[in-house]
A and B are shown apart, each in its own frame.
Chain A
Amino acid sequence: EIVLTQSPGTLSLSPGERATLSCRASQSVSSSYLAWYQQKPGQAPRLLIYGASSRATGVPDRFSGSGSGADFTLTISRLEPEDFAVYYCQQYGSSPYTFGQGTKLEIK
C-alpha cells in the first residue's frame, strides 16, 4: 500500500498570499496518477487536480499542481477567502487508492 504524507498539517496564511502544499509518497506513483481534492466544512470533497498537474473543469487557474515520482506539490498562487479549506492528495496508480491525511489551510 502506498502511504501519502502531506505537509504541513496546518498552514496559516492571509488572503493574497501564496500557498504551497506538499504530498510525499512512500514509493513512486505510477504515471503521475496523483489527484488533489478540496473539502470545506460540511461538504463533500471537490476534485481540483488530476494527473499531478491537470486542472479539473471549472477550477480557477490560481490552482496548479506539479511533481512526479514520489513528490508532488499543490500551489495556490494568490489566496482568495474561499480557498481556506482542507486539501487532500490521492494516488490512483495502485490499489488501494490511498489519500494523504490532509493539510488544513487556515486564515492567519
Chain B
Amino acid sequence: EVQLVESGGGLIQPGGSLRLSCAASGFTFSNYAMTWVRQAPGKGLEWVSDISGSGGSTNYVDSVKGRFTISRDNSKNTLYLQMNSLRAEDTAVYYCAKATSFRFLDYWGQGTLVTVSS
C-alpha cells in the first residue's frame, strides 16, 4: 500500500525558513518523480514543484523560484521542500504526491499546514 506522510509544518514568522519532509513507502521510491502541491485556506490547489526520480531534474512555479528548493534522499525514501524567505502568501496546506511517468498525481499524502504570520 502506498503511503505518503508529510511533516515539518508549523507557525513561522515572515522571512523565516522551514523544511518539509515526506516519508514514502509501498513503492520503489527512486523510480518515480515526486511533487509538492499546496492549498491556501479555503482556496484551490496550486502545483509548487516536482523532482525526477533520480533527483537530477527539478521544476518550480514562478512564485517560489529562488526561495524554495525541492530535494530527495532515495536511500531514506524521503522527499523534502526547503522553504526560505517565507511570506504570508505561502500559508497553505502542503501536500506531497507521487507522480506517474506522465506526471499526473496518483497518490497523495494528507498534508502539513504551514502558517506564515508574525
Contacts and interface: CB of A to CB of B under 8 A. Distances in A.
Given A33-B103, A35-B104, A88 B110 contact: no
Interface string A36-63: 0101000111110011000010000000
Contacts of A1: 62
A92 B104 contact: yes
B70 to A, nearest CB: 13
Contacts of B44: 86, 88, 99-102
B25 to A, nearest CB: 16
A90 interface: yes
A101 to B, nearest CB: 5
Contacts of A86: 44
For the complex of A and B, list the 4 residue pairs with the smallest distance between their C-beta atoms, beginning with the closest.
Answer: A44-B108, A92-B103, A35-B104, A99-B45
Interface of A: 1, 33, 35, 37, 39, 43-47, 50-51, 56, 86, 88, 90, 92, 95-102
18 contacts: A33-B103, A44-B95, A47-B105, A47-B106, A88-B44, A88-B45, A90-B47, A92-B102, A92-B103, A95-B59, A96-B60, A96-B61, A97-B50, A98-B47, A99-B44, A99-B46, A100-B44, A102-B44
